[in-house]
Amino acid sequence: MLVFNQLQTYLYLALALFAIGLYGVLARRSLIAMLISIELMLNAASINFMAFNRFLAPHPAVGQVIALFIMAVAAAEAAIALSIIVAVYRKLKSINVEQATELRG
Amino acid sequence: MNFLSGLFTPQGVATIAFIMVVGVTILGALIAVLARNIFHNVLGLALSLMGVAGLFVFLNSPFLALMEILIYVGAICIAICFAVMLSEPMYLPKPPRNPLKIQGAILGAGAVFAFLALLVKQTKWVPAVERSNDWSVTTIGHYLLKDYSLIFEVVSLLLLVAMLGSIVIARGGRGSSS
């Protein structure tokens, strides 16, 4: 059995990518770095969809369609997040999350 | 000798290519998260996404691999580059890292990793009884415009709203401040 023909390989790989992204979201303080980590986590989800699609699903087109939707939603999310980051920088002159405390009661 | 001759069969070459793709993906992800320079983070993200595109080729879908490079590397990474240029200058000194926060993040991510790895290991994955072999792009198009047409339209609306919203948010400060 070849290593790239097993479902488990892809699942563990996507898991590693997800954990790296989660570490980035928790540890980094720059908003842009957090956005980059979130993109990594979304990619892990898409790898999972494609792996299940390749090895388990009854019809192989469905998982690819879902992965395309994930990409579209990720693009929309990135556009909104980046414009918010630019607006926050203009207002606070910093993109460090620890300084963005305007909403604190 | 036996190992070397095994390396030059099609399976051996494919395995080497797969290991390289996996290495590029993980290395890029580590650069994207661990490097201190924000621009290196963006480049690491691009490298990692290239690796993911290679994985999609191994998962039988070159179309999705091309879309991955087009949308993620070509659009999202460039947009992040613009945000890097429009926000904090990179020559400013960065505040030192908080070791407690790093440890907490490692602990949290490690716990999620361990739990999900256990889940993957324990689950018995059962393939569908009847599986079709239709991998063509034409079929994806039919699915997009027949079975999933509502989601397709909603996603296009979402992209339009996101585009308008980002223009409004990013422009906001300009009119009021001047």
**Of B178 and B165, the one with more pLDDT:** B165
Q: Per-residue pLDDT averaged across B138-162, rounded?
A: 93
Percentage of chain B modeled with pLDDT above 70: 95
Cβ distance B165 to A28 less than 8 Å, yes or no, reads no
The ipTM estimated for the assembled molecules is 0.92
pLDDT tier for residue B50 given thresholds of 50, 70 and 90: very high
pLDDT reported for residue B178: 43
**Of B109 and B88, the one with more pLDDT:** B109
Q: pLDDT at residue B91 above 90?
A: no
Query: Does residue A46 sit at the B interface (CB-CB below 8 Å)?
Result: yes
Smallest CA–CA distance from A78 into chain B, residue: B76
pLDDT tens for each residue of A1-47: 788 888 999 999 999 999 999 999 999 988 999 999 999 999 999 99
**Cβ proximity of B84 and B42 under 8 Å:** yes
Contacts of A2 in chain B (CB under 8 A): 11, 14-15
pTM for this entry:
0.90
B61/A55 Cα distance (integer angstroms) = 13
- Which has the closest alpha carbon to B39: B71, B87, B74? B87
Contacts of A55 in chain B (CB under 8 A): 125, 127
| Domain ranges within chain B, ordered by starting residue | 1-86, 134-178
Residue B58, amino acid:
F
Q: How far is CA B3 from the centre of its chain?
A: 34
**Cβ proximity of A35 and A78 under 8 Å:** yes
- Angle between helix A60-92 and helix B77-86 axes, rounded to 10 deg: 0
Domain B1-86 indexed as CATH 1.20.120.1200: yes
Among B18, B83, B133, select the one facing A32 at the smallest CB separation: B83
Token pair listed for A66: 């879902």
pLDDT tens for each residue of A83-97: 999 988 888 888 888
Give the C-alpha distances (Å, rounded to integers) separating A94 from B42, B72, B140, B168: 19, 26, 44, 20
A37/A57 Cα distance (integer angstroms) = 29
**Cβ proximity of B59 and A10 under 8 Å:** yes
